[in-house]
Chain A
Amino acid sequence: MASSGAAEADPPGEREREQEQERRRLAASLTARYSDWVLEALDELPGSFLLTDPALAGHPIVYASRGLTALTGYARRDVLGRNARLFQGAATARAAVAGVREAVRAHRTHQVPILNYRRDGSPHWVLLHLAPVFHARDGSVLHFLAVQVPIADAKRRGGAAAAGAVLLAACREEARVEEDFPCAAHAGKAFVDMDKRGLEAEEPRVPSDSEKEMAINTADSIVSALNRYSKLTGLVVSRKRCDSVGIPALSSSLNLSLGRIKQSFVLTYSCLPDMPIIYASEAFISLTGYSREDILGRNCRVLNGPDTSLEVLEEVRTGFYSFFSLSKEPDRSFVASTFIRKDGSSFHDLLHVSPIRDASGKVRLHLSQVAFHIWVHLDMGAKHDFNGLTPEVWQLGAVAAVRVAVRGLSASGSLLRPSQ
């Protein structure tokens, strides 16, 4: 660690205590900002990534993922507290390093292929995806996340690279349950063989689209996890500074399917901080008086009024996170509350919120990857002819209909139109 120079002079007990303090300090960098469960949540994510804290001296690594060892050969405890430059070495391009340094200084997201070195000294190419994690309200940088995605050699990309990737993926699965990584040596060998060929040319390897996508997906999952656990302690994090968040547009086939659902509901997008509304049904528009332009991009709290009970918000919050904790709730919550229309008039509402999963062709990086939440409203003041159904069944029908719609495939395989 940092104080290795003076190690021999200290008695062993002292050193151990120092190390323990150091470890706690680093862990606190995370748990001070997020709930204690954040470490467990991050441990569940596959891939090799780090979280670093720019506020601490030396900009040390405060968290290393389980996948790091399979990729780099470093045990997690080896890297905690050290600066991330430990992965760089003799042949690492100076320009690449400078680019990373500049991005850190400017608090920018940066993606660059870079030659890193494993613990045993062998070099390997990775796509480094660096992104700052901002405090959504005051814009300060809380952490940096750095994702490392191995770049396969283009020449052997077909067979061996696929096999290597499968092997690594298999190892990641293993890594999640076992402490020692039996496949690591073998996977390392596969990489070394490919690398020797790559090093002959000093050219940086070009990452494939799927590798780039994997880096972005991993980064998104990390931010989602941080978001989830920060909310419990009242903090909200973002990958971008507050002003520039744009909401995604839904694919036309999804819009079409959703348009057939008659109940009053909105869909919020769970991956963005503050969960903006990205779809509002016709019935919702006529119930609340807000037009599509008014409501898209806003948070659902726009409906809250002075009479909206705080219990509502609590129920909703628990509803969100019970799903994430993968424990099945025996009862679904239907909350009666009062909300405000655009014109200021209030209405008695029955609200139900449910998460909607997405299983499109994209790489699923998190088990409970939730794409949207559906908020179904029912105006209890208006006359409804339920024909023998309860209001709850009415609302669940909408939830299920949205699940069917989301399950559909668009031509591009994605529920969202590609971002600009």
Chain B
Amino acid sequence: MVSASATKVEGVKTHLYYFGAEHGNDNLKNFAYSEQGDPNLLDTILLSQWDNFAWKGHLDYDVTACQLKVIEGGKKFVCQLNNKWNSFFLKEYDKFFESFGCLKPNSMKCYEGLLLCIAQGEKDRPEVAPSSPPPKDGLLVIANAHPVEYGHIFLVPSAMINQVSCYRDKRMFQLATKIAFEVNNAAFRVFFDSGTSVVSDHMPFQACYFANPLPVESTSTFMVYDGKGRSDIIVSETVDYPLKALVFTSNNLQALVTVVSEISSLHDNTTAYSLLITNNGTKIFLFPQVKNLATGCSLSAWECGGYFVYHTKFDFDSASETAISSRMSSISLHDSAFEDLKHLCCTIADDLVIHCLNHSRIFFDDNFFLSTMKQKDRAMRKPHSPLMNLLGAKRSAMSSRNNSA
């Protein structure tokens, strides 16, 4: 697995998983190795590497021994008793970056937490190279020694090792969603925690395994935008869930990624967005939260999903649906702000123009957009919604750049 090599040049080596080559199909076929009754390749290697990491004692605690229960009530919130986990490892943040130092090229040091690397491959089928150096343009899968659940990993882009870059760019988003698709395991979910405004650009995507549906996945939803035949995306909102959330569903990975990354890249001083990618990369939950200026984001994506961790037995035993619901509602967007966001999301989804059949690229038709923006502005009763202004500003900047290029 990971071992320091004898010569200085080679550095760290690990398993490298190659995605099958993209054929430009919008709907990526899962070359299911599962057609032959074989286990999924990426799923198997992720699980096995993590299990080894745990077996060797590198975890701070055995998360499978932490008590779990479902809280009484209709929402079926899940809670875990664990006195060692905390949702934002901001204090550890510097250490986290430091630990990557050994992954720079030509490093001799061994890094046990690096489970495997993922990169785009050339062949039709995915494959694994058992002992390769980390790719220059790919992803490093790093185990989280303070897991919230079994298999908790960080997805760190290779580029980040050498210089700090924005995690939330579309490419990273696409990789994260694609991984969810490739693993093809309903228990595997990728998520993104929006930290404080300072750190949020540097928070990595994370993922872990949990066999049951999260409470937010079982909650009923109401469709607000049906993009079938046009943009291939359906936008819904959660009904009766204490934290107002939006759900984006599509079998078209590109479409999904484009829309959601657009929305979550909006920098707004008052709202933070956490994300949960589920259903093998076909369903993304967007959790907008009112940003607390002092502490930044209050709830992690996992908590937004309805899974809470308690540090003491007393808190664990006295956890109630009412307390959790009120905690979630307190950081949920106000109705009007949520309506704005909904409109915005529908607009963005609607503006996707898909060139069907042969082409895979999706783009925003800028001219088309600007004209429809004006129409929609008129249609909207609130003339100057801050979100729409932001989007408008961004779009006009983009279009002016395109025009000048």
Which residues does A use to contact B, with CB under 8 Å?
Answer: 253, 257, 260-263, 283, 328-330, 332, 357, 359-361, 364, 384-385, 387-390, 392-401, 403-409, 411, 413
- The complex places the Cα of A220 from the Cα of B324 at a distance, in Å, of 35
Asked whether any CB of chain A lies closer than 8 Å to the CB of B150, the reply is yes
Q: Complex formed: what's the CA distance from A407 to B66 in Å?
A: 10
In the bound complex, residues from chain A placing their C-beta under 8 Å from that of B127 are 387-388
Distance in angstroms from B188 CB to nearest chain A CB is 9
Residue of A nearest to B186 (CB): A260
B48 touches A328 (CB 8 A): no
Question: Which residue numbers of B lie inside 8 Å of A, CB to CB?
Answer: 15, 33-34, 36-39, 41, 43-45, 47-52, 55-57, 62, 64-70, 78, 125-130, 149-151, 185, 187, 209-212
Contacts A389-B128, A397-B43; A403 near B51 (Cβ below 8 A): yes
* Residues of the A chain whose Cβ atoms lie less than 8 Å from the Cβ of B39: 261-263, 394, 397-398, 401
- Evaluate contact between A359 and B65: CB separation under 8 angstroms: yes
Of listed B36, B44, B45, B209, residue having the most chain A CB within 10 A: B44
B150 touches A407 (CB 8 A): yes
A387-B33, A403-B150, A407-B150 known; 20 new pairs, CB 8 Å cut-off, are: A253-B211, A260-B185, A328-B57, A329-B55, A361-B68, A364-B67, A387-B128, A389-B128, A389-B130, A390-B130, A393-B45, A393-B49, A401-B39, A401-B47, A404-B151, A404-B210, A406-B64, A407-B149, A409-B78, A413-B70
Residues of B near A407 (CB, < 8 A) are 64, 68, 149-150, 209-211
Residue in A357, A397, A404 whose CB lies within 8 Å of B48:
A397
Is there contact, CB below 8 Å, between A388 and B129?
yes
What residues of A have a CB within 8 angstroms of the CB of B55 in the complex? 328-329, 332
Closest-CB distance, B176 to chain A (whole angstroms): 20
When distances are taken between beta carbons in the complex, the residues of chain A under 8 Å from B50 are 400
Q: Contacts A283-B37, A357-B64, A390-B130 hold; do A413 and B69 have CB atoms under 8 A apart?
A: yes
Chain B residue at smallest Cβ distance from A364 = B67
Give 26 pairs: A residue, B residue, CB < 8 Å, sorted on A. A257-B187, A257-B211, A261-B39, A262-B37, A329-B55, A332-B55, A361-B69, A364-B67, A385-B36, A387-B41, A387-B127, A393-B49, A396-B52, A399-B48, A400-B47, A400-B50, A400-B150, A400-B151, A401-B43, A404-B187, A405-B211, A407-B68, A407-B209, A409-B70, A409-B211, A409-B212
Nearest CB on B from A318, distance (A): 15
The chain A residue with its CB closest to the CB of B47 is A400
Q: How far is the CB of A283 from chain B (nearest CB, A)?
A: 7
Alpha-carbon gap, A261 to B211, bound state (A): 12
Give Cα A395–Cα B48 distance, bound, in whole angstroms: 8
**A329 cross-chain contacts in B, Cβ below 8 A:** 55
Is B51 in contact with A400, judged by CB distance below 8 angstroms?
yes
Instruction: Name the residue on A nearest B209 (C-beta).
Output: A404
How distant is the Cα of A384 from the Cα of B38 in the complex, in angstroms? 9
Cβ–Cβ < 8 Å partners of B78 in chain A: 409
Contact yes or no, B210 A361, CB < 8 A: no
Please give me the 8 A-B residue pairs with the lowest Cβ-Cβ distance, nearest first: A408-B211, A397-B44, A388-B128, A400-B47, A396-B48, A400-B51, A262-B39, A361-B69
Residues of B within 8 A of A399 (CB): 48, 51
Interface of B is mostly: mixed
A66 CA / B62 CA spacing, docked (Å): 26
List the A residue with the shortest CB-CB distance to B149: A407
Of chain B, the residue at the smallest CB distance from A401 is: B47
CA distance A329 to B48 in the complex (A): 16
Name, among A262, A283, A330, A411, the residue most crowded by chain B CB atoms within 10 Å (CB to CB): A262
Q: How many Å lie between the Cα of A360 and that of B210 in the bound state?
A: 14
Q: A393-B44, A409-B78 are in contact. Are A360 and B52 (CB under 8 A)?
A: no
Nearest Cβ on chain A to B42's Cβ, whole angstroms: 10
Least Cβ–Cβ distance between A334 and chain B, in angstroms:
12
**Chain A proximity of B48: nearest CB distance (Å):** 4
Minimal beta-carbon separation of B245 from chain A (angstroms): 22
Interface residue from B68, B149, B212 paired with A360 (Cβ < 8 Å): B68
CB distance from B373 to the nearest CB of A (A): 46
CB of B309, distance to nearest CB on chain A (Å) = 13
| A328 engages B56 (CB within 8 Å) | yes
The interface residues of chain A lying within 8 Å CB-to-CB of B125 are 387
Please measure, in the bound complex, the distance between the C-alpha atom of A384 and the C-alpha atom of B44, giving whole angstroms: 14
Instruction: Verify A404–B150 contact, CB threshold 8 A.
Output: yes
**Set of chain B residues within 8 Å of A404, measured between Cβ atoms:** 47, 150-151, 187, 209-211
Within the complex, what minimum Cβ distance (angstroms) separates B36 from chain A? 8
Q: How far is the CB of A391 from chain B (nearest CB, A)?
A: 11
Q: State the CA gap A253–B213 with chains docked (Å).
A: 11
Contacts A359-B67, A388-B129, A400-B150; A408 near B210 (Cβ below 8 A): yes
Q: In the complex the two chains form, what is the Cα distance from A396 to B15 in whole Å?
A: 15
A364 CA to B36 CA, complexed, in Å: 41
Of the candidates B37, B68, B149, the one having the most CB atoms from chain A within 10 angstroms of its own CB is: B68
Which B residues lie within 8 Å of A393 (CB)?
44-45, 48-49
Q: How far is the CB of A233 from chain B (nearest CB, A)?
A: 28
> Across the interface, do A359 and B68 meet the contact criterion of CB distance under 8 Å?
yes
Given contacts A253-B212, A388-B130, A394-B44, contact A403 B64 (CB under 8 A): yes
A7 CB to closest chain B CB, in angstroms? 47
| Chain A residues within 8 Å of B36, by CB | 385
CB of A359 within 8 A of CB of B44, answer no
Q: Cβ of B212: which chain A residues have Cβ within 8 Å of it?
A: 253, 408-409
CB–CB A262/B67 < 8 A = no
Q: Which residues of A contact B48 (CB under 8 A)?
A: 389, 392-397, 399-400
Question: Nearest-CB distance from A366 to chain B (Å)?
Answer: 11
Q: Which residue of B lies closest to A356 (CB)?
A: B64
**CB-CB < 8 A to B210: which residues of A?**
404, 407-408
Q: Kindly state the separation between the CA atoms of A319 and B345 in the bound complex, as whole angstroms.
A: 55
Q: Return chain B residues, CB-CB under 8 Å to A357.
A: 62, 64-65
Nearest residue (CB) in A for B34 is A262
The answer for the CA separation of A393 and B34 in the assembled complex, in Å, is 17
CA distance A399 to B50 in the complex (A): 11
Q: Determine how close the nearest CB of chain B comes to the CB of A360; give it in whole angstroms.
A: 7
Residues in A neighbouring B43, C-beta threshold 8 A: 397, 401
Residues of B within 8 A of A394 (CB): 39, 44, 48
The distance from the CB of A31 to the nearest CB of chain B, in whole angstroms, is 30
B38 near A385 with CB under 8 A, answer yes
A155 and B281 alpha carbons, distance in the complex (Å): 54
Whole-angstrom distance between the Cβ of A401 and the nearest chain B Cβ: 6
* Min CB gap A420→B, angstroms: 24
The interface residues of chain A lying within 8 Å CB-to-CB of B185 are 260
Q: Which residue of A lies closest to B62 (CB)?
A: A357
Q: How far is the CB of B298 from chain A (nearest CB, A)?
A: 26
CA distance A413 to B50 in the complex (A): 26
The answer to whether B211 touches A389, judged by C-beta atoms less than 8 angstroms apart, is: no
In the bound complex, residues from chain A placing their C-beta under 8 Å from that of B149 are 407
With most chain A CB atoms within 10 A of its CB, the pick from B38, B48, B78 is B48
Residues of chain B within 8 A (CB-CB) of A387 are 33, 41, 125-128
> Smallest Cβ distance from B305 to chain A, in angstroms?
15
Q: A262-B34, A332-B55, A357-B64 are in contact. Are A397 and B211 (CB under 8 A)?
A: no
- Chain B residues contacting A396 (CB-CB under 8 Å) are 47-48, 51-52
Contact partners of B49 in chain A: CB under 8 A: 393
Cβ of A359: which chain B residues have Cβ within 8 Å of it?
Answer: 64-68
Give the one of A329, A384, A396 with max B CB within 10 A: A396
- Complex Cα gap A283–B52 (Å): 24
